[in-house]
Copies of this chain bind each other. A is one copy, B any other.
Amino acid sequence: MHAVTSQHEPPPAQLRRNLFASMALIRAFETRVAELYRDGDIPGFVHTSLGQEAVAAGVGLALRDEDYLATTHRGHGHCLAKGVDVDGMMGELFARVTGLCRGTGGSMHIADPSHGVIGANAIVGASLPLAVGAGLSSKLLHQDRVAVAFFGEGAVNQGSFHESVNLAAIWDLPVIFVCENNIYAEFTDSRAMTRVPCVADRAAAYGIEAHTLDGNDADVVYAATAAAAERCRAGEGPILLEAETYRWHGHYEGDAQPYKPDDESLAWRDRDPLTIAEARLVHDDTATAEELAAVRADAGARVDAAVEAARAADVPAHEEAFQHVFSR
């Protein structure tokens, strides 16, 4: 792993508790989704973000509700942390009318513009230009909104990364490029796909500031994002944050991950973002172990309720297939 630094103030106590709660919700959601998918309850492709909860929570909580967020095939956590409704998300995964997209989108395409989420994207690298456009809107409409593009380290090799970061740079747009470097892109160790040790180093080509962060420490991610958002709102242009983290599960649910060395997986499991947060919260008396266990239990119950609601909901009627092809 690359040297990691954080030059920012840690977040205050309540916020740290909220970060934990957000991670707990994502953990519960993704754990449950993995089971549901295994059991054939959810159709399509599913990519979970287990192990990466700190990035989602740290970024999501540092943003305002009206800030924009464009995400990827691995976007459940990002949406949850941004405040998107759990029932709406679960309903969407179940392809029910209660889903945020009424069943037309699915896991890879969850969107909720009412919370600034302008879409999850199944095209690697496509989130970046969209976020640049959202940043352009914010700037030209004088809206003080920040736009975040999430993407993986694999997406950095797409031309759209290059073009988008450069555009945001020359136009001084309020865009935060958040690269979740979980080392793998599908079955490929991304370190073999570049000669450069970390993604943040590649930002130099665009003349923008970039930081490599411990992506399993929500406090660190939060602080860096909050600082970046402030910069953006001050009109100082884009910034790139590389969050080093790890994908616990396979690329998609069902992938047995033969390509990962065991010791690597184990070492990262030891760096569970929830455990890290938990230990620190308890250690500095911000919360008790019991309180945190209750938070986890609440999250589980919340997700259970969402699953029940989704199961009970209707599937879309035949005619819905033909709606919304065009707006009127």
Which residues of A does B touch, CB under 8 Å? Answer: 157-163, 166, 169-170, 192-196, 201-202, 204-208
Contacts and interface: CB of A to CB of B under 8 A. Distances in A.
A205 B157 CA distance: 11
A45 B159 CA distance: 28
Contacts of A207: 194-196
Q: How many copies does the complex hold?
A: 2
A288 to B, nearest CB: 47
A196 B192 contact: no
Contacts of A201: 204-205
A242 B162 CA distance: 19
12 contacts: A157-B166, A158-B159, A159-B160, A161-B162, A162-B162, A162-B163, A194-B207, A195-B206, A196-B207, A201-B204, A204-B205, A205-B205
A165 B302 CA distance: 48
Nearest to A163: B159
- Counting from the closest, the 10 A-B pairs by CB-CB distance are A159-B159, A195-B207, A162-B162, A205-B205, A202-B205, A196-B207, A169-B195, A159-B163, A159-B162, A204-B204
Given A204-B201, A205-B201, A205-B204, A170 B158 contact: no
Contacts of A158: 159, 163
A193 B166 CA distance: 8
Given A162-B162, A166-B194, A196-B207, 18 more contacts: A157-B162, A157-B163, A157-B166, A159-B163, A161-B162, A162-B163, A169-B195, A170-B193, A194-B206, A195-B207, A195-B208, A196-B204, A196-B206, A201-B204, A202-B205, A204-B204, A204-B205, A205-B205
Nearest to A208: B195
**Of A202, A205, A206, most B-chain CB atoms within 10 Å:** A205
A163 B158 CA distance: 6
